[in-house]
Amino acid sequence: MPLVESSYNTPAFMANGHFQTLYPYFFRKVKDIQFERQRVELKDGDFIDIDFLNNNADSLIVLTHGLEGNSNTGYIRGMAKHLSETSNVDVIAWNMRSCSGELNRKSHFYHAASCSDLSEVIEFAKSKKKYKKVHIIGFSLGGNLTAFYASTVDENKLSEINSATIFSSTLHLASSIEKLKDSQIGNFYSESFLVTMRKKALEKQKLGLLDIDPERIKSCKDFIEFDELVTAPTNGFKDAFHYYDEASAINVLHKVKVPTLLIQSKDDPFLTKECFPIRKAYRNKNLFLEITPTGGHVGFMKLDKKLMFWSEERAAQFIKEVA
């Protein structure tokens, strides 16, 4: 499909990628939303905790957070609140392994293409209620996972999915990680994630789930070192760059099989030119690429008395269009 002309605009003082990225992260609080926690027992003996908003609807939205996020993250709560109030849907916000506040049982955590986990969440939801429509929405690393799912999962499972919406996705993992590594502000962003990643890995090491020298875990100073030591070997990849190549959705996005809206900001500090699949969008009738002039990384703020973000309004609009 041709590129979608973006409707997003914001006051000049908000038009800064770092401001759009950092302000919501530190200051956004979404109130008046009450999730119901449920546990999904996985086929491999592990578990995933999901948070559920029940509106007695026959359509379901499944929200996938980004790296080291969870169902309590501002952009997840904001999206869940807006969609549940305006679109007559049930909402599931699922927590990737070890992101719900409790360490998972296996040696591995999650990674950028953990499609089987998303599949089991959807299967669990559909076993509880026969939803007529299911829409998936992903952010950042969860956006890569969502794109991977919409591109590679078998036809039987994808027949249940009516649309995918993706925001601020690090579709080309290697270049995004190199970009963060090469600047002071990028290392600040990386370290904000690595603090909890190292902590969880050390907890697993103490429990005997990881056979890794704890000093090596503590010394990981960037994503490449951590992924080389922990993520890649525990998930069956040869090394960090094999993981980045195999799990980057940019390599499979041309196969996307369901209506998919991909929204990327030009001033996103996490993204490189490789994360903007313009040619793939022109060649695939299911892929709608919307490039915003600003928005940062999972920002997309606007001046709104209801504290709603443009991304929430845009997702609701797209779901309505494809419903």
Strand partners, 90: 60
Per-residue buried b or exposed e for 78-104, using 16+ beta carbons within 10 Å of the residue's own CB: bbbbbbbbebebbbbbbbbbbbbeeeb
Q: Is the pTM of this model over 0.95?
A: yes
Of residues 13, 66, 63, 48, the one with CA closest to residue 192: 66
Amino acid making up residue 116 = S
d(CA 241, CA 239): 6
What confidence score (pLDDT) does residue 153 get? 86
Element housing 306 (H / E): none
Q: Along the chain (323 residues), what's the average pLDDT of each consecutive run of 10 residues?
A: 88 93 94 95 98 96 98 97 94 98 96 96 95 97 97 82 97 98 96 98 97 98 98 98 98 95 98 97 96 97 82 97 86
CB atoms within 10 A of CB 54: 13
Q: Tell me which CATH code domain 12-171+249-322 carries.
A: 3.40.50.1820
CA separation for the pair 32, 212 (Å, rounded): 43
Domain limits of the chain? 12-171+249-322, 173-247
User: What pLDDT is attached to residue 159?
Assistant: 81
What is the structure's pLDDT at 254? 94
pLDDT of residue 226: 98
Q: What is the dihedral of CA 149, 155, 161, 167, to 10 degrees?
A: 20
The pLDDT of residue 154 = 82
Q: Give one DSSP letter per residue of 186-203, joined into a string.
A: HHHHHHHHHHHHHHHHHH
